[in-house]
Amino acid sequence: MTRLPDNAIRREPSPNGTVAISMALYGMALCGGMLLVGLYHYRTKPSWGQFLLSPSVILCMVAVLGLLVASGVLVRFLSGSQGRNRDRRYAVIMSLLVIVLAGGISEAALRIAAVERHNGTFVGKFRLLPRQWREFADRQRTMLASSKTTGDDTLGWTAGANRKSEDGLSEISAEGLRSATQGEVLRNGLGNCRVALVGDSFTFGDGVRFEDSWGYRLEQLLPKGCRVLNFGVGGYGIDQMYLRYKRDVPSWKSNLVILSFIDPDLHRTMSAYGFLIVDQIPFPLMKPRFVLDQRGIPNIVNQPLPKAEDIFMLPSIHDVPFIEYDEKYNRTDWDRPQWRGVYRSYFLRFLISIYRFSEKDRPFVSDADMRALNSSLLHAFVDAVHKDGATPLLVYLPNKRDFKKKSPWIPEGLQILQNAQLEHVDLTSCLKRDSEPNHFIPMGKAGGGHYTLQANAAVAACLGPIVRDRLGLAKAE
């Protein structure tokens, strides 16, 4: 039997070696993408604790470790004696071609599928980061010139007096309240009993006619001479509801004041800009932002409110005053000059958009801050109503998410009310036991996501006996 020379054995093809080379290159590409994501989402100047626990730092460390391991494997098999040089070169070239081809196909597919909207670039429902501030600001500034929006130096925005919605479903009185007809003077014929409603669009009754809103339906269940006055305004947080009451309601000498809210209103309190709260349409308005001082008293930090015209002329959202106080502001969601090279590629934008790291460790925007601030504002509302000689009533309105969660889940709003030991009414069970299967207007229709007329009727039916009882207490006092 003839024995082959050692060098002949060394030049035999090694399938394991070429596979290892390919896997090492693929691993390096993967780790490179992870490193890009980690570096992009890295927050400058964190504390040591934040640094060590930061998801972006952990991702960078894993990516670097992976790159070192993959590089070691690649060097070993490229410089080793097993396999022919031609096979090794072939494995490298083919692996690189696969990586480039996969990236190129992904880039082309994303560019074809991407759609530009007023609030960013979307592939289906997936938003590609970053959001381009100058394009966004220009769209908002165009909307600012429209008569559809009504800014307010104190509240941020309000229901414009003597207005009518484009869909014709809602009309505003001469005093800025929801009314049966445009420009109606509600102070005429107020009667001897008044119930004021403050809240957001669920209180206002978006998507249904005035006669189908739960405020009007509630009035029909009260004794003759009782009027229900609807001060609700779409997009409001708990803070704006409180301010709306303080400024606009006391002069109406109400007997009972209802503050009704949904869970998202709690997080609106943590925003300083309406254009970050309302994402579906351009909403170029500012809003007041409360912060608790060392004594636990809420104070507004951005009064007077910045002028929208000045805000939308700034070169970057990162230059917007008080933006760090806005819970919905994420630094890495928006464009930054040093990353412009990355933004040219839709594929790289897709990589940095796959996972958005939380930035809630900023001062004043944590979940604990949210709970404390809303609790304080709700207490302040109750105290203010009592001081004005009326009876307060806090009402929790369930939204769509509340019906998707399973017990023992408790909405944040109810948790805050319970922990603050504030007397309240929870209408979740009221809607759940109602026979109407669909409580919410389908998305895509006017008022999509809000209560149907059946749900409005159910809310009024549940509140009717409670309000009658409270009005009796109010009269007794």
pLDDT digits (tens, 9 = 90+) for 108-120: 999 999 998 888 8
* Cα 322 to Cα 301: distance, rounded to the nearest angstrom: 8
pLDDT of residue 436: 57
Q: Nearest Cα to 74, choosing from 129, 119, 19? A: 19
Residue 66: is it exposed, middle or buried by C-beta count within 10 angstroms (0-12/13-18/19+)?
A: middle
Q: Is 182 exposed, middle or buried (0-12, 13-18, 19+ CB in 10 A)?
A: middle
* Residue (of 186, 174, 183) closest to 215 by Cα position: 186
Domain boundaries, the chain: 6-113, 146-270+365-476
- What is the 3-state composition of the chain as percent helix, strand, coil, each rounded to the nearest 5? 50, 10, 40
**Cα–Cα distance, 205 to 450 (Å, whole number):** 8
Residues 55-90 pLDDT 10s: 666 777 777 787 777 777 777 766 765 556 677 777
Give CA–CA dist 269/380, Å, rounded: 14
Q: Is 217 exposed, middle or buried (0-12, 13-18, 19+ CB in 10 A)?
A: buried
Amino acid in the structure at residue 255: N
**Residues 77, 15: contact at Cβ < 8 Å?**
no
More confident residue, 361 or 343: 343
**Enclosing H/E stretch for 116:** strand 115-117
State mean pLDDT over 177-191. 90
* pLDDT (mean) for 5-21: 58
Residue 89: per-residue pLDDT: 77
DSSP code of residue 317: G
Per-residue pLDDT, averaged over 275-288, amounts to 88
Q: Give percent above pLDDT 90 in the chain.
A: 56
- Mean pLDDT across the stretch 217-223? 95
pLDDT digits (tens, 9 = 90+) for 297-315: 999 999 999 999 999 999 9
With 80 as the cut, is the pLDDT of residue 408 above it? no
pLDDT (0 to 100) of residue 141: 87
Rg (C-alpha) for the chain, rounded Å, is 30
3-class secondary structure, 430: helix
Tell me the β-bridge partners of 149. none
| DSSP state string for 19-37 | HHHHHHHHHHHHHHHHHHH
3-state secondary structure 151-163: EECCCEECCCCCC
Return all residues near 283 (Cβ < 8 A) that are at least 6 apart: 140, 143, 149, 235, 274, 275, 277
Cis peptide before 250 (omega within 30 of 0): no
| End-to-end Cα separation, the chain, in angstroms | 116
**Does pTM top 0.85 for this prediction?**
no
CATH of domain 146-270+365-476: 3.40.50.1110
Contacts from 99-103 at CB under 8 Å and sequence distance 24+? 99/25, 99/26, 99/29, 103/347
Distance CA 195, CA 252 (A): 10
- Residue 30 phi, psi (nearest 5): -65, -45
- Two tokens at 275? 């254009």
Ramachandran angles phi, psi of 290, nearest 5° = -85, 150
Amino acid at 400: K
Q: Which helix (H) or strand (E) holds 115?
A: strand 115-117
Q: How large is the average pLDDT for residues 336-360?
A: 83
For the stretch 278-283, contacts whose Cβ atoms lie closer than 8 Å and that sit 24 or more positions apart, written own/partner, are 278/235, 279/119, 280/119, 281/118, 282/118, 282/139, 282/140, 282/142, 282/143, 283/140, 283/143, 283/149, 283/235
Question: What mean pLDDT is reported for the chain?
Answer: 86
